[in-house]
């Protein structure tokens, strides 16, 4: 089976989506993929970030994580996105990244990328599913192939049973309310598997 390249692209303000991205990277590596864990560029002013302890801590924790570029998108056979919800949509930082890929989209370089997505919010019904679906709408415009986890493994039910992608509720203490690590790693495995099928099929 063809070896695939996986870019795990995240935005994280409080650290949750960074953790999801790390688990996804571990899961993809365990499935045999070459992996890059990458953050989107921060847009908020440093003065605002410094006034929020959790946000500032996340910026410091991710300071050595490379910022994703169009070259990474071209390199990747599969992309796993992770973003917090913002009023039922992706974060502005993630949206800017998507919006700046017009050049490679116009050259057909986003076609047949295998994609999957994860999200978080502070409430059980805080927009996680809507956020993932909003991102998938952009991916349809890319001509990408969506590899949602569906109900392909029992571990998904222990993580809340979101068929669109792993999502997690984060309490006021900043901790995840559910144990989603296994679900994230299964989603990564599924993404890699589908990407292998696609890459193998394109080579024939």
Distance in angstroms (rounded) separating the CA atoms of residues 170 and 96: 24
pLDDT at res. 171: 77
Radius of gyration of the chain (CA): 16
pLDDT at res. 201: 87
Q: Provide the domain limits for residue 155.
A: 5-202
99, two tokens: 């919006």
pLDDT at res. 2: 78
What's the pTM value of the predicted model, to 2 decimals?
A: 0.95
Total of domains in the chain: 1
**DSSP E strand stretches across the chain:** 5-10, 34-39, 78-86, 89-90, 114-121, 145-146, 167-169
pLDDT at res. 179: 86
* Residue-level pLDDT, tens digit, the chain, 204 residues: 779 999 999 999 999 999 999 999 999 999 999 999 999 999 988 888 988 888 899 999 999 999 999 999 999 999 999 999 999 999 999 999 999 999 999 999 999 999 999 999 888 888 899 999 999 999 999 999 999 999 999 999 988 889 999 999 887 777 877 789 999 999 999 999 999 999 988 876
**CATH number of the domain that residue 141 is part of:** 3.40.50.360
112 exposure class (CB count in 10 Å sphere: 0-12, 13-18, 19+): middle
């Amino acid at each position: 089976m063809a070896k695939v390249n996986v870019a795990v692209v995240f935005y994280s303000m409080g650290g949750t989506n960074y953790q999801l991205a790390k688990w996804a990277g571990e899961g993809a590596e365990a499935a045999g993929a070459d992996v890059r864990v990458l953050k989107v560029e921060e847009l908020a002013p440093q003065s605002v970030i410094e006034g929020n302890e959790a946000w500032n801590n996340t910026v410091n924790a991710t300071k050595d994580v490379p910022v994703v570029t169009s070259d990474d998108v071209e390199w990747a056979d599969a992309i796993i996105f992770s973003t917090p919800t913002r009023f039922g949509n992706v974060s502005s930082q993630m949206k800017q990244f998507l919006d700046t890929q017009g050049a490679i989209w116009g050259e057909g370089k986003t076609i047949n990328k295998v994609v999957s997505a994860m999200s978080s919010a502070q409430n059980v019904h805080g927009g996680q599913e809507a956020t993932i679906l909003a991102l998938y709408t952009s991916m349809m415009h890319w001509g990408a192939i969506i590899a949602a986890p569906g109900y392909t493994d029992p571990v998904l039910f222990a993580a809340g049973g979101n068929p669109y992608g792993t999502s997690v509720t984060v309490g006021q203490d900043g901790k995840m309310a559910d144990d989603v690590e296994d679900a994230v790693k299964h989603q990564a495995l599924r993404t890699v598997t589908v990407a292998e099928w696609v890459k193998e099929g394109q080579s024939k």
